[in-house]
Amino acid sequence: MTKTIVSTSNAPAAIGPYSQGVTVSGGRTFYSSGQIPLDPTTGEITGADDVAAQARQVMDNLAGVLAAAEMDFDDVVRATIYLTDLSDFATVNEIYGARFQGPPPARACVQVAALPKGVNVEIDVVAVAD
């Protein structure tokens, strides 16, 4: 197995000992790290208490790392959404769902006690290139 690190300035730099993403199987399979609503330019949290703004930034960050792996949302086969409050599910679901033009991927959504930097939403994905 060959592991290739995926890195881009179009998503926030890692804030710990992890990569933004990794491809395996000759670049055909991509695993993202969880993306939170950090603006990749400023490093600041987007939408302090606005879960919709946070979800949009998270999806923009995922788009950035997917593009760096030469993929897009149509290649996503699995996603996990982490929310600090499940009452935000409908809002996040609408923003998340708008990014998928074809059949949506498999997905889990869970409520967690806390997320890094006190954000309300984090999402990670697995994608497979055609």
Catalogue the active-site residues: 109
* Cβ 99 vs Cβ 75: under 8 Å: no
Q: Give burial (CB, 10 Å; 0-12/13-18/19+) of 71.
A: buried
> What are 105's two structure tokens?
């991927």
